[in-house]
Amino acid sequence: MTARRVPFAVSATAVVTYAFLHLPLLVLIAFSFNRSRFGVQWGGFTLDWYARLAFRPDILRAMRLSLVVGLLSTLLATAMGTLAAVALARYLPRARRAAGGLLYLPIVTPEIVAGVSLLVLFSWMGIALGITTIVIAHTAFSIPFVTVVVLARLQGTDHTLEEAAMSLGADELSTFRRVTLPQLMPGVLAGALLAFTLSFDDFVTTFFVSGVGSTTLPLAVYSMVRKSVEPTINALSALLVMVTTVAVYLADRLARGSTRA
Amino acid sequence: MRRGILRWIARHPRSPGALLLGPGGLWLLAFFLLPILILLVYSVMPRGAYGGVQPGFTLEHYRRFLDPLYLGILRRTIWLSFLCTLACLLLAYPTAFYIARSGPRRNLFLFLAVLPFWTSSLVRTYAMIFLLRDSGLINRALMDAGLIQLPLRLLYTEGAVLAGLVYGALPFMILPIYASIEKLDPALLEAAEGLGARSWSRFTRVVWPLTAPGVAAGSLLVFVPSLGSFVVPDLLGGARQMMIGNLIQNQFGPSRNWPFGSAAAFAVMALVLVAMLGVLRMKGLDDEHGTSKGRGA
């Protein structure tokens, strides 16, 4: 489809779409380097607002909590999501359609419904809200994403290699460890990066399952935004955007590499 | 079907498939499906003290939606989600087309279209506030240009909420449409052209019907999250532009009426279900249409 000329209206709409998608964040990032405190006049370049973040104990604490939650839930979701993908692709091919329901349901359920339902569950079970409940919730919404990414990778791998290993006398565990897993690795890493990004950025679910003293970075940003609009929020937002962009870029490279292989 | 797997796993508890699927499957059952079932039970129980419930059965929480106040919130939620879907479609279809034809830079354009999906919705909503508020960039530019004397009220309007929703949802519309356009066989277009079809009828009679599944999938992926949105109307709409997500948050937060909040959450789920069934039906009809046509040819 590359040879045809694109009508002007089509390219014009594409330009509008890309401007709409990216200008607001680019403006935000640009103004995080703006010296003037109030408003939109350009007062010269500064890194002051970033430096200020380093002296905000509440933000540093929130950042640390977000990292810990992100790492724990990524580890759990990647392990369980990868195993589930292998099960669906290799052992339960006929169950895939049915399991798809349980897998895709969390992706299409509005996040606020999942969030309040977890709040009700935890209060019903008498579990105090805090870092544990946040990790449980983030793991739950990340598993389907990991499974979907790894499943896509599994479809591209060669099943006969595993059969060869088995016929050469490898048992199932060492076949999995030495043949299946290395082939899957790019998909697993891509899934892990996406799980981390989902957790690190999550606001809605965390809002409902966090307790006093367990403020993640997005929760801190929310309470700052509700209070006022100030350049430190721009700096913090810019940092968040950069972390996400790098993670997604890496995940994208890994996933792309897997389709080429 | 799902019971089928569970029965299979129960019968073969030591099979590798069951062992591998087990942990993730159980996690999702315990922390996704079970909570939603508990929420359903809460929504039909009488309200207790401090947000809890009392034993008993009642439909009063669902009946409350007949109140004009809540009907209004429900209507606004559906209307804004519909407008958002329409706006996304109008922007995304040409954009997806453009990406499909951008040759070597296709991967870059695709990456740029998907990137916002992974960026925090909170940060992006804040970026909107930064542009739209009274002393924001848009008002400042218009005032400096002498076009207006007083700042326009852009924030806390229906338009602001709509802009925020579209901003967050666009990637979900672009991706499925792009996927269906990419699968389109150029030979079909050449055939249509060879048979004398002009560009407009090539579009309406070849391209559009073949990309309709992508449009249906994209519309679902945009409409459904819009129904449950909470951050965007909260920060860009204020108290006057409440959507059902804000109502749910309110009931679980300050109002402490968990059963009514649960009922509101199930109202959202019901809307989601209707939307999904609607799209599946459309797809089903399309398939039948397609096969009967195929047989005729």
pLDDT over 70, % of chain A: 91
Q: Each residue of B177-196: pLDDT tens digit?
A: 998 888 887 788 788 888 87
Buried b (16+ CB within 10 A) or exposed e, A112-131: bbbbbbbbbbbeeeeeebbb
Domain-located, residue A227: yes
Domain-located, residue A242: yes
CATH no. for residue A85?
1.10.3720.10
Q: Are B167 and B202 in contact (CB under 8 A)?
A: no
Residue span of the structural domain in which A150 resides: 49-260
What's the average model confidence in pLDDT over A124-143? Answer: 94
- Output A71 or A230, whichever has higher pLDDT: A71
Domain-located, residue A118: yes
Q: Are B235 and A233 in contact (CB under 8 A)?
A: no
Residues of chain B contacting residue A38, judged by C-beta atoms under 8 Å apart: 135
pLDDT at A106 (0 to 100) = 81
Domains in chain B (CATH in brackets) are 59-296 (1.10.3720.10)
* Beta carbons of A25 and B127 less than 8 Å apart: yes
What's the average model confidence in pLDDT over A67-95? Answer: 87
What's the average model confidence in pLDDT over A26-35? Answer: 88
What's the average model confidence in pLDDT over A184-211? Answer: 90
Domain-located, residue A255: yes
Give B273-293 as a 3 state SS string: HHHHHHHHHHHHHHHHHHHHH
Predicted confidence band of residue A219 (pLDDT cuts 50, 70, 90): very high
pLDDT(A2) > 50 = no
pLDDT at A1 (0 to 100) = 44
The mean-pLDDT minimum among A52-66, A223-237, B34-48, B156-170 falls in: A223-237
Contacts of A84 (CB under 8 A, 6+ apart): A99, A103, A143, A147, B20, B21, B23, B24, B25
What's the average model confidence in pLDDT over B149-162? Answer: 90
What's the distance, CA B120 to chain centroid?
16
- Output B226 or B49, whichever has higher pLDDT: B226
Domain-located, residue A42: no
Tokens representing B137 are 């960039």
The complex's ipTM works out to 0.84
Domain-located, residue A235: yes
* Beta carbons of B36 and A117 less than 8 Å apart: yes
Domain-located, residue A109: yes
pLDDT at B293 (0 to 100) = 38
- Output B166 or A246, whichever has higher pLDDT: B166
* Type of residue numbered B207: V
pLDDT at B13 (0 to 100) = 57
Domain-located, residue A26: no
The total number of structural domains that make up chain A? 1
Cross-chain CB nearest to A110 (options B100, B166, B227): B227
Interface check for B263 against chain A (CB to CB < 8 A): the answer is no
Mutate to test the interface with A, among B32, B41, B112, B175 (most CBs of A within 10 A): B32
pLDDT at A141 (0 to 100) = 92
